[in-house]
Structure 1
Amino acid sequence: MKNSLLIIFLLLSFTARSNEEELKVVTEDWPPFILKGQEVSGIVTSNIREILAYTDIKYSIDVYPWARSFHLATTNPNILIYSIYRTKQRESKFHWFCPLYKSTPIHVYKLASNEINIDSLEALKTSVVGIMRGDNSHSYFLQQGFQEGVNLDISSNEETNLKKLIKGRIDVVIQSKESLNYRLGLLGAADLNLMSGLEISKGESAEHCMALSLGTKPETINKIKKGFEQWQKTQ
């Protein structure tokens, strides 16, 4: 009798675990913070793995173009997205966990040989800005009156923007210093002479966050909250 009850208990436990919904973690290729490979890695990805290790949640990490990751996270439950900047426009779309990593300022960069002024928004409106579709800078420039096809050139990734900059097809790119240097190295252009200008994101507005999609079960939200709080104590 005892053995039968034990078997039934184990079967029920296995069924419950099998029915648990796996957390889908989505992100973009943003070196050196997030590196796409056979296994997603990078400085910030390591923090994500540490946080989720404090929970019993099954998860997978997938790398997509930013616009797709953001769409998935805003249209489906049980999606965790990182690294994401916390803005007023995004505030109500997620359950937020910040900071995941320290502030990473974003600047405007141009070729040193280009004489355009990149120190103000008004000056930039006379140039062509290379922007990644759907990211925070894309929204920011649209709000400031920039227009796609006029002074905004849209790409699906930052490597494409850098190639366009090198070839003179655009005037500026929007990057963090760390990511810019990493990508230039991959392109064999580490010695390229660039100049920085206007700072787009800084301070708390440039902190890396992770965000959980709305509609996610309260149990999952609480587990991630507790895992995040435990992780913060070790930092």
Structure 2
Amino acid sequence: MTDTNDNGPKEPQDGDGTGRRDFLKKAATGAAAAAGGLAFGSSQAFASPRLPEPPEVGAEIPCSCLAPGVPLTIQTSTIRIDFSGRIKVRVEAANPLNPWSLKLKVIGHEVTGYDNGDSGDNETNAKSAPREGLGQVRIKQSDAEFTPNSLLEMTNKFPPKFEQTMFLDFTMTIENPPQQVMERALGVSMTKKPEPLVLSTKNPGKLVGQLDQFPPQGAPYKLQNPIELVMPNHDETIATLDKFPVTVGEITGS
């Protein structure tokens, strides 16, 4: 009786065994082909991800800067100011043996903030003398040619990680400086409201960011050294930035 439920391949029933050998050979070939297909599929599934392409030499990358609550110390008073603005870097050179080892040049950096003073009230409800505000405080790059090159290095391939070091050499213009600060800076007594005070960095500030991608997208950078600010061609420190916690993100479409 024929089994009507057997839907599998039928082994040939010839007498000399030739048909059986052909049947087994075809079955083995089909199995090998199937195994090869699985192996090919697996190699695609586990292919190594590609590294991102670095920006080309000469590329200019504009970024936004947000630095809330930056402590600015003038004499014995520390005032916190929210700064915002932009910074632009240009790719100066790349290492041919390591494309993600780049030299960058800061070619534009300007942020501004405002200090409106205070009424003398504080969180403990104690009273102090009202403080007149500094007005606009502007930080602007001094001279791109004299600013040290910044650096970008890939620190990990998968997932990609980068470290960027930026050096900042700038002037700070304080719209409404305290009169005693101006007198100290200039070495003279003043009988009228002082002009804006312009200070320069004694040494460049050093910012370091640990990045998941470059250009950065909302990445935090931290100041590695306090920035001392002096009158041009003088050594006496007039003001200090002890911290500069800034978030940097690429501006696209500009």
Please report the TM-score for the alignment, with normalisation by the length of structure 2: 0.25
Higher relative contact order (CA 8 A, sep 6+): 1
| Greater per-residue strand proportion | 2
Please report the TM-score for the alignment, with normalisation by the length of structure 1: 0.27
* Structure having the higher Rg: 2
| Greater per-residue helix proportion | 1
